[in-house]
Chain A
């Protein structure tokens, strides 16, 4: 994002709209020949386009700019209107449990996890997500291949991401994986270690198919691992036609 310095009147209306507080007002600096205006901290800006789409600027000074690799990743992981080239769906995750009644992605005996770095409202750099992938892979987790973060991995053996992406900041990025139920406790222990080192917040999501007897394996697994399952969340109500019996 950029602000047209000729059009900006320094009214400050755009400041509050930015989810990562990347816009500030710069005072006039006569010695440097700079007028007072709103400026965007390009290192902090995640290219979500919230400021541009809001039409908050009465002068139309906020503009989108052409983005090159790797900066384009900021937009791909921050602006939900943008459709990922690798997943062909908008947003920064996948269909995960939302279509599980059709796809059978999560089956009996397995648990899905999602570690969303930067959510809520803080933002994250890919280097934190890379550290998590490096810690989780030795535990035998199966990363979701359709996840756009997985697609940035340069070395599948170690989980190393493409080095040029590590410092890019995004609103959030999700490590999505499937694990056997019995490995959940050690994965949770690793997640706590990952969180202790992370320079951001992590929203932790846990998925399971409801067992044939009506029990919810995710609840038992979370409680055994010392986690308190939320009272609210998402329910797939099984109206999708299954691709195969599972």
Chain B
């Protein structure tokens, strides 16, 4: 479930895209972790977020914060998406102080995340890199479209939907924010960054 890996795009754009999420280990600390997951979700609520969610209950764009919060159970995974690195830095400091004892993962540009960790007094414990896409790459959509679809690591945001939304924006049938919100709906985890999608839709047009 490397659902926040393989997000592709230009460095400047990727550097305004952070996913902060928490997961318990099924065989170790999952039992009784539901309230901790709720606490994690409450802490992150104080910061300016682009999206949030849980695969079982949905995201900001197809559910609501309270429903998602109340639905957290022992094996849930809580996600938040931010554009602002400084907010992520403050979150890490607050999570360190909260000492919930469950795993926290940050997806983003490594150099930036490493700096945020250092400033928060946290280690970079384990990392996961993308080694690229291999095989029949001629089947992939063009750059900006792919940059949007890869924000849903489960692959539920289709390239055809991106093209349809880009066309509707071009024709004036939808605003950029309305189109980005439509694109966020299929992503059930809430890891889709709509602010980034708006920038990329502008690029397509």
Contact = CB atoms under 8 A, between A and B. Distances in A.
Interface of A: 15-21, 48, 50, 53-54, 78, 80-81, 88-103, 106, 112, 114, 116, 118-123, 171-172, 174, 191-192, 195-196, 198-210, 216, 218-219, 222, 227-241, 243
Contact of A96 (B2, B95, B135): B2
B144 to A, nearest CB: 14
**Most chain A beta-carbon neighbours within 10 Å: one of B110, B120, B163:** B110
21 contacts: A50-B158, A53-B188, A91-B3, A92-B1, A95-B26, A97-B126, A99-B25, A100-B126, A102-B28, A102-B102, A116-B6, A200-B135, A202-B133, A204-B132, A216-B127, A231-B111, A234-B5, A234-B128, A235-B125, A236-B103, A239-B101
Interface stretch (B146-154, B169-177, B195-203): B146-154
Given A206-B129, A206-B131, 11 more contacts: A19-B186, A93-B2, A99-B24, A102-B103, A202-B133, A203-B6, A206-B128, A218-B129, A230-B132, A233-B5, A240-B102
B23 A99 contact: yes
Interface in B41-71: 55-56
Interface of B: 1-7, 11, 14, 17, 23-29, 55-56, 75, 92, 95-96, 99-111, 113-114, 117, 120, 122-137, 139-141, 146, 149-150, 153-161, 163-164, 185-186, 188-189
A203 B188 CA distance: 21
B125 A236 contact: yes
Given A120-B133, A121-B149, A239 B100 contact: yes
Nearest to B157: A19
B179 to A, nearest CB: 12
Contact of A101 (B100, B113, B125, B131): B125
Given A210-B126, A239-B100, A240-B29, A201 B117 contact: no
A100 B185 CA distance: 30
A41 to B, nearest CB: 14
Contacts of A237: 92, 104-106, 117, 120, 122-125
B158 A53 contact: no
Contact of B2 (A123, A231, A234): A234
Q: Which 6 pairs, one residue from A and one from B, show the smallest C-beta to C-beta distance?
A: A238-B125, A91-B1, A195-B134, A204-B131, A240-B103, A93-B1
A54 B186 contact: yes
Nearest to A244: B28
A39 B188 CA distance: 25
A80 B188 contact: yes
A125 B11 CA distance: 33
Contact of B101 (A89, A174, A209, A241): A241
A233 B28 contact: no
A78 B153 CA distance: 11
Nearest to B134: A195
A71 B39 CA distance: 39
Contact of B141 (A102, A121, A216, A233): A121
Nearest to A197: B135
A75 to B, nearest CB: 13
A17 B24 CA distance: 32
A232 B123 contact: no
Contacts of B130: 203-206, 229-230, 232-233
B101 A80 contact: no
B195 to A, nearest CB: 16
Contacts of A50: 156, 158, 186
Contacts of A231: 11, 14, 109-111
A240 to B, nearest CB: 4
A49 to B, nearest CB: 9
Contact of A210 (B100, B108, B113, B123): B123
B2 A174 contact: yes
Contact of A238 (B6, B24, B114, B123): B123
A205 B146 contact: no
A208 B25 CA distance: 18
